[in-house]
Structure 1
């Protein structure tokens, strides 16, 4: 089986982001047939239609990385019951101008962690709506809403809870099979 490249969007810029930890945990659980490539979104300028004539280099880099990927993984926190502005900005840059949507036709998964009880559920629903409009097919099940407690996932992505590890392994296995079916 050939390697499937997965572009990974983490919707938090914080160095100690719990969603960055979750992304690392998913990568550690994944089979070697998946190669995870983080997508830098912190250096992107705010999207403006003025870019449509001449894209900034950071925006073109993002568009090229998404185009080259076989699949996508979005790992998002929830800010004010929606997705973080930095993640929405990255999606806007990658999907514009009209007719050059880098996301179109890709398969993706949407997961997230939050200290709150609903573990980013509303942000994920909003993100799924945006991705659907952009012709991104998102993995329907299992949904992954992690209520993060300190020590659940270490900085290097090590999962300390057997139950959480088993649940996330089920997600990873399903995602790997689902994106592999497109090759």
Structure 2
């Protein structure tokens, strides 16, 4: 299973539209039952407390999310907006909170793809580098081809859908490459 994560808790974020489009591409490639979608804006904030760092202190809401989206995953796609020159603090907090319980089973030995989105020109390159460093520390392997997507407001229609054809082509190619990287899409040529 691959989990696609929209890495912000900002309600109505543009990041979510890009993450969901990536989820759709992966679902078409490998089957909807093999891909899950997790938007941090949808998860309850009940897990945020100082007890989350104690063994046995994890809130049941977070345990449920971890059991459904993190532990059974073979790979992750992190779609991360640029916040203050990096990735959102809530994404780091989520990774930290999951890491208290079943530390080695969360990310170690698993593969990850990184997609950065920004309203500016760099597509969150620095944030993807920071996130890759965190994931490497946890034992995950990141796909070398990170995908920066810049000027995202110009790539969407007024309904908030990603419509820019060249961007959709690049995203689909990246999804194919990641499916091959994880080993769930053998023998398909990336175009």
Whether 1:13 aligns to 2:9 is: yes
TM-score (norm 2): 0.80
Distance 1:129 1:172 in 2: 21
Whether 1:164 aligns to 2:163 is: no
CA contact (8 A) 1:18 1:148 kept: no
Unaligned runs of 5+ in 1: none
Bigger proportion of residues as helix:
2
How far off is 1:120 after superposition? 0.9
Unaligned runs of 5+ in 2: 187-191
How far off is 1:77 after superposition? 0.8
- Which has the higher mean CA deviation after the structures are superposed, 97-106 or 58-67? 97-106
Aligned to 2:92: 88
Distance 2:158 2:9 in 1: 15
Higher relative contact order by CA 8 Å / sep ≥ 6: 1 or 2?
A: 1
How far off is 1:132 after superposition? 0.1
CA contact (8 A) 1:47 1:93 kept: no
Match of 1:51 among 32, 51, 54: 54
What does 1:68-147 correspond to in 2, within 5 Å?
68-97=72-101, 99-141=103-145, 143-147=146-150
Instruction: Please tell me the root mean square deviation across aligned C-alpha atoms, in Å.
Output: 2.6
TM-score (norm 1): 0.83
